Amino acid sequence: MTIRSELYNQTLFMNTSTNTLKTYISDVSDFPKQGIIFKDITTLLENPQAVKLCLELLLSDLTDKNIDKVVAIEARGFFFGMLLAQALNVPFVPVRKPRKLPRKVITQSFDLEYGSDTLELHEDAINPGDKVLIHDDVLATGGTAQAVCKMVESLGGQIVQCNFIMKLDFLDGAKKLEPHPIYAAVSY
């Protein structure tokens, strides 16, 4: 097989898989508030084949990337964050809401598309020089992932990539994560 045909086959797999994965993500109108169309991944999680496909897509962009730890964001980021850490054979590091982590933490507040929030990370979870993959379910306005990037970098971690199941392009959250590489299995 030539490099050209291998790239073609990989592109075909990605396009077909991305379109298939979208069929497992449901739209819920007016959640969490009026006027919002929420992208619900619980329908994806209910299907083992869809979970497998999603994990394959998320891993497909990580070949040849040296990752020491997967940092995932509460709560929906945990589903695939743990699977990614297992597949990569690296530690899983949870980022949680305030007062949920038992050891000494660092804290970062941020704005959301409909409010504000605060996240915490164990201060001993990231060592200087750790190469980190950050994972969450969705990239919307980018505030959540940006807050996690700030915490990881404040501890000396190097962000290899920010990974998402889906990216909402119309909200332009990717700009807040520059210059970090971003990958999303599907985009809307």
Q: Looking at the annotation, which residues are catalytic?
A: 76, 113
- Collapsing DSSP states into helix, strand and coil, what is residue 77? helix
- Is residue 188 exposed (0-12), middle (13-18) or buried (19+ Cβ within 10 Å)? middle
Question: Phi and psi dihedrals of 5, rounded to 5?
Answer: -70, -35
> 185 and 166 in contact (C-beta within 8 Å)?
yes
169: which residues sit within 8 A by CB, 6+ positions away? 187, 188
DSSP state of 170: G
